[in-house]
Amino acid sequence: MKELKGNLVQDRDEQELSKLMVAAQRGDSLSYSRLLNRVRDILTKYIRNSFRRIRIHGDEAVEDVLQEVLLAIHQKRETYNPEQFFLPWMYAIARYKAIDYLRRSKVSLRSTVSLDDEMENVEALMSLESDNHLDTEALISQLPEKQKEVLQLVKIEGLSMEEAAKKTGYSVSDVKVTVHRAIKSLQEKVKEAPRENR
């Protein structure tokens, strides 16, 4: 029931944000203001969770990245294609800005997993849930045992790759590959699912 509720919220978010962006592209300043406020609400949580997974804490870093993302959305708003989903476009911008910020800040990651890989996995999981309206928990339960175990540690418990490796006894590179394969498998399952289930 919780997953269904989450999917309904994401569906409403996608519809609302897409409409607001299209109206903003047509010059509606009120819609644009509402869009930026909604994006701020969604991305504050996303950026904070993404940073937490790689053991970066602090509201200042989150706010810095958020401002960069909002500026990028402002600068790129005319490039948004109304025929495409808004949320994946927004998350892609957020991912790149977060990576740029961390590289510029020369943040020392206490993990052997690359920042690109970690952020890519975080974004893929968020995007997977945003792009479709399937029960992702049910899809995860269909994965091979190892993929299911590792993905649940990363997705549900919010562990970093290194933490998941310690908990499972697998190497960090093995966890990274397993998460990558699990996400790829889930994306394939989403493609195969009937449209009426989305």
What digits encode the pLDDT tens for the residues 114-163?
545 555 555 555 555 554 444 556 677 788 899 888 877 776 666 777 77
DSSP 106-145: T---SSSS-HHHHHHHHHHHHHHHHH--S-HHHHHHTS-H
Say which DSSP state 55 is in. Answer: T
The answer to whether the predicted template modeling score (pTM) of the entire model surpasses 0.85 is no
Sign of CA dihedral 56, 112, 158, 71: positive
- Minimum mean pLDDT among 18-27, 131-140, 153-162, 171-180: which range? 131-140
Q: Where are the domains of the chain?
A: 2-197
CA 25 to chain centre: 24
- Give the C-alpha distances (Å, rounded to integers) separating 86 from 14, 67, 124, 131: 6, 19, 15, 9
Please report which confidence band the pLDDT of residue 92 belongs to, taking 50, 70 and 90 as the band edges.
confident
